[in-house]
Structure 1
Amino acid sequence: MGISSLATKYGFQSFPHYSSGRSGAKVNKIVIHHMAGTNYDIVPSIWQTREASAHYGIGKNGEIRAYVDENNTAWHAGNWNANISSIGIENCNSTGSPSWNVNQATIDSCAKLVADIAKRHGLGKLVVNKNLFPHSYFSSTSCPGVLLGSLQYIADKANAINNGGGSSTPSTPTSDLYRVRKSWADAKSQVGAYKDLNNAKRTADSHSGYKVYDPNGNQVYPTSSSTSNVKTLVVQVNGLNVRNKPSLSGTVVGSYNKGATWTLPKTEKQTIADGWVWARCPIGYCAVGKNTGKTEPDDYILIS
């Protein structure tokens, strides 16, 4: 059995949505998620009906729980090849939509768990988008939310732990990075900093209204000739239910309030069921509005 000594079992494999074994694959990466929810204890009961799971979850105070044996495949990345070769870590949010913040205690505990996993599986030095990935690298999703901007911190802290410097301060990113922000002046809105421009563009595409700036503060993406490959969904009401499938019979797994925003590929079509139009969201499915064949002023979600 493979479970980190840092974790305690919680609802361990008490749900159907994971696979025994790893189809012959070897673990060579870790994938970071956020829960898009603030109720740590509801996980993993939502996986009784929702076709998803993860190996670990981390609470607001840094508590680590084990959900799936590392020797088994959790359904977390939205990509089978990634699933069978990775370990997925869910991080509980400290606030709800639209910010979905994550406590520093959660992030620091995540770094410790990442270090432990990397050491036991021989992953070597942790490098973002090489052996430490955001969920959005493998699927069109806004997950892991604000943690996109913490991946380098997590990698640095985990590497320091494995190099015998557990109390060391993670290295400060160098200045030759592409930064993803709402505007250059709004440093607090930054959700990532990357050496690779393509990675920065990918992050900007998954965050409505965000742009990529070079080290001198010049906007390099999108340019006037750029065409976004995503559409933006904005919730127009409070208390919009999120269900585990696009149907009124689906189990409610959460809710969004007015202003909650996420993106989907432009090519993705909505589902029509029970007289409603349904759209995928980070934690399930939401009703967009009645199936009238056109946008209505009372629709629950505005899509642009």
Structure 2
Amino acid sequence: MRDWARCEADVVRLMNRHFTRGRGGARIQHIVVHYNDADGSVEDVWNWWQTRKASAHYQVESSGRVGQLVWDRDTAWHAGLWSENLRSIGIEHANRRDGTISEACLDNGAHLVAALCRLYGLGRPQWNVNVFPHCHFASTSCPGQIYGSQKDAYISRAQLWYDRMGAGGAASASPAPTAPSSDIDSLAREVIAGKYGNGDDRRRALGANYDRVQARVNEILGTGSKPRTRAVDVDALARAVIRGDYGNGEERKRRLGANYAAVQRRVNELLS
């Protein structure tokens, strides 16, 4: 988030359809939590909602990146009941295949809940008081494990951020918890797949997890400074080269080191 206190998202990608301007005189009273049933980005959900008559105010990606798709002052089509749409804010979360969300998504999703509760005077976050799962209003499995195995962790984190934000400071002054090793591995593999871009874009998207994720990327690809006990993933390295992660010419040779010849052969195979 650019500004937690004012709930200014990292990116704004406003819907051009499937929402309603204004709230019909209703006041924001609570937050409804959703999951994508997919590992979606801000851009993904914007595209999905072009043909599906649905929307939400925010999307939280697996990296923790937050996007705003409908202004808080307007009505998103998300809860399944029009009366609830009018008086709620909808937050979507990217999820894994098993319905769980990453640590970065959980932390920033919960932080966003806390920030909205502060901004609109909704009180300390509590399930089924001022924070509701989508399944409370509709017959659906949404929001997956956010209201299952991660239910307590999610609301506890929201309460932690709410308390910190009321303790006299900008919540962003306290570093967000970093992801556990299992999530670092998942994030690293998503980086290798090209999901988080390069350079400053990758650093910004991964936030506090950047150093650990990049170190794990280097381990998987066999380019770190420590001796490797695992075989180098030549295919993954080749795909990273094709994306431009390792530059050209002498720079590529230097960065790939002893793996250069094998990787370059695989690059040539993939491009042939």
Q: Does 1:9 align with 2:16?
A: no
Pairing 1:204-243 to 2, within 5 Å after superposition: none
CA contact (8 A) 2:30 2:87 kept: yes
In the alignment, what sits opposite 1:50?
52
Q: Does 1:32 align with 2:33?
A: yes
Q: Does 1:20 align with 2:33?
A: no
In the alignment, what sits opposite 1:78?
80
In the alignment, what sits opposite 1:200?
none
- Asked which structure has the greater CA Rg, the reply is 2
CA contact (8 A) 1:10 1:65 kept: yes
CA contact (8 A) 1:128 1:152 kept: no
In the alignment, what sits opposite 1:116?
115
In the alignment, what sits opposite 2:146?
147
Inter-partner Cα distance in structure 2 for 1:50 and 1:129: 27
Query: CA deviation digits over 1:199-224, x for unaligned, max 9?
Result: xxxxxxxxxxxxxxxxxxxxxxxxxx
Distance change (3 Å), C-alpha of 1:161 and 1:39: closer
Aligned-partner SS, 1:139? coil
In the alignment, what sits opposite 1:107?
106
Aligned-partner SS, 1:133? strand
Inter-partner Cα distance in structure 2 for 1:25 and 1:50: 25
Unaligned runs of 5+ in 2: 177-272
Query: CA deviation digits over 1:97-146, x for unaligned, max 9?
Result: xx233111100110110111000000012110111000000000000011
Aligned-partner SS, 1:34? coil
Percent identical pairs in the alignment equals 36
Pairing 1:252-271 to 2, within 5 Å after superposition: none
More strand by share: 1
In the alignment, what sits opposite 1:163?
163
Distance change (3 Å), C-alpha of 1:125 and 1:5: closer
Q: Which amino acid aligns with 2:110?
A: A
CA contact (8 A) 2:145 2:151 kept: no
Note the C-alpha offset of 1:6.
4.3
Distance change (3 Å), C-alpha of 1:151 and 1:121: farther
Note the C-alpha offset of 1:46.
1.2
Note the C-alpha offset of 1:37.
1.1
Higher RCO, 1 or 2 (CA under 8 Å, sep at least 6)? 2
Aligned-partner SS, 2:34? strand
CA contact (8 A) 1:6 1:64 kept: no
Query: CA deviation digits over 1:231-289, x for unaligned, max 9?
Result: xxxxxxxxxxxxxxxxxxxxxxxxxxxxxxxxxxxxxxxxxxxxxxxxxxxxxxxxxxx
Aligned-partner SS, 1:87? strand
Query: CA deviation digits over 1:7-44, x for unaligned, max 9?
Result: 13343123x10001111111110010000112313111
Inter-partner Cα distance in structure 1 for 2:27 and 2:80: 18
Unaligned runs of 5+ in 1: 170-304
TM-score, reference length from structure 1: 0.50
Q: Which amino acid aligns with 2:100?
A: N
Distance change (3 Å), C-alpha of 1:11 and 1:159: same
Q: Between Structure 1 and Structure 2, how many residues are aligned?
A: 164
Q: Which amino acid aligns with 2:155?
A: A
TM-score, reference length from structure 2: 0.56
**CA-atom RMSD, angstroms?**
2.3
Q: Does 1:91 align with 2:93?
A: yes
Q: Which amino acid aligns with 1:65?
A: G
Inter-partner Cα distance in structure 2 for 1:146 and 1:159: 18
Distance change (3 Å), C-alpha of 1:5 and 1:127: closer
Distance change (3 Å), C-alpha of 1:115 and 1:50: same
Query: CA deviation digits over 1:146-194, x for unaligned, max 9?
Result: 111333333222222222276699xxxxxxxxxxxxxxxxxxxxxxxxx
